[in-house]
Amino acid sequence: MRIAVVTLFPVMIREALAHGVVGRAMERGVLEVEYFDPRDHATDVHRTVDDRPYGGGPGMVLKVEPLRTALRRAAATLPPGSRRVYLGADGRRFDQAVAREACGDRGLILVAGRYEGVDERCIERETDEQWSIGDYVLSGGELPALVVIDTIARLIPGTLGSAESAVQESFSDGLLDWPHYTRPPAIDGLAVPAVLMSGDHAAIQRWRLQQALGRTWLRRPELLERRGMSEEERVLLEEFKIERACRTDRIEDSKR
C-alpha cells in the first residue's frame, strides 16, 4: 500500500515510522510512505506557508497555494482513486473498522494541518473525508497521521509475522486484550495465574478468552454489546463474573 502525507514536518513522521513492526513493513516494501511538504511549493524568498485569517484574530492559517500544490502533487503521484483524508478533531472517528476499510485501498493521502487550520474551501474541494483520532486538541495533524498509518500498516498482509497475525485473527477479535505475564513467577508475593504454568494449551486458550471477555465487560461494555457473544463465550463470561464476585466477597471478609 502507498500512503502520502502532506505535512510541514515530514521528518517527524519519517523518524517515527522507522522503528519496530512498521519499520520492517517499509523495509519489506509492503508499505510505502511518501511526503509532500507545502514548504517545497512556497513561492516567495521566505518560503512562507502561513497567512493571516480573514476576520482577524490571533493565529495563522495554512497558506492556500503551497498546500494545494503539495496536495495535488500527492494525488498525481499516488494510484488513481486514492482517498484524500484531512485529519482534524471534527472528523469521523477513526477506529479499527475505518482502518480495515482503508487497508484494502491501493493508496491513501493524509493531510496534516498546522497553525489554526486550513482554509475551509481547500478542505471542501481538495479532500474527500475528515478523520479524527479522538476528542482532544493537538497542535498538528502529524500525530493523527502516525496513528492512522500504524493502525493500517498492521492490517496489511506481510506486516506482522505469522505468529503475531495468528493472535490478531483469533477469537479475541473485537475484545480487549487478556493480561500477559513473564518471569519471575512471583513479584512481591503476586504469583502468575497457575493455568499459564500448567502446559495445558486448551485450558490456557480458554482462560485467555475468558480474561478478554471479562475485561471487556468490566472496562468497555459497549464493545461487547456491539460485538455480541457465542454461547460458549457467554458461559465463560458468566464464570468470570461468579469468580470475580467470590473474590470480591473474600476481600470484603478480610476487611471485617
CB of 237 to ligand 4H7, least distance (A): 33
CB of 206 to ligand 4H7, least distance (A): 38
Of residues 39 and 215, the one with the C-beta less far from ligand 4H7: 39
Of residues 62 and 175, the one with the C-beta less far from ligand 4H7: 62
Of residues 42 and 133, the one with the C-beta less far from ligand 4H7: 133
CB of 58 to ligand 4H7, least distance (A): 11
Stretch (H or E) spanning 62 = strand 61-62
Q: Give whole-number Cα distances, 102 to 131, 151, 250, in Å.
A: 12, 10, 48
The CB-based long-range contact list for 183-187 (8 Å cut-off, 24+ gap) reads none
CB of 126 to ligand 4H7, least distance (A): 13
CB of 95 to ligand 4H7, least distance (A): 12
Of residues 128 and 243, the one with the C-beta less far from ligand 4H7: 128
Q: Where are the alpha helices (DSSP H) in 103-230?
A: 120-126, 142-153, 162-169, 201-219, 221-227
CB of 50 to ligand 4H7, least distance (A): 12
Of residues 35 and 171, the one with the C-beta less far from ligand 4H7: 35
The helix/strand/coil state of 201 is helix
Work out the angle between the directed axes of helices 201-219 and 231-255 (0-180°, nearest 10).
70
Q: Which pairing describes strands 61-62 and 50-51: parallel, antiparallel, or unpaired?
A: antiparallel
The one-letter code for the residue type at 25 is A
Of residues 131 and 217, the one with the C-beta less far from ligand 4H7: 131
Q: Which residues bind ligand 4H7 (CB under 6 A)?
A: 87-89, 113, 116-117, 132-134, 136-141, 144
**How far is 136 from 75, CA to CA, in rounded Å?**
29
Closest residue by beta carbon to ligand 4H7: 113
Q: Give whole-number Cα distances, 182 to 12, 162, 187, 193, in Å.
A: 34, 21, 10, 11
**How far is 154 from 172, CA to CA, in rounded Å?**
16
Take residue 65 and report the three cell numbers written for it.
Answer: 497555494
The helix/strand/coil state of 47 is coil
CB of 67 to ligand 4H7, least distance (A): 11
Of residues 61 and 237, the one with the C-beta less far from ligand 4H7: 61
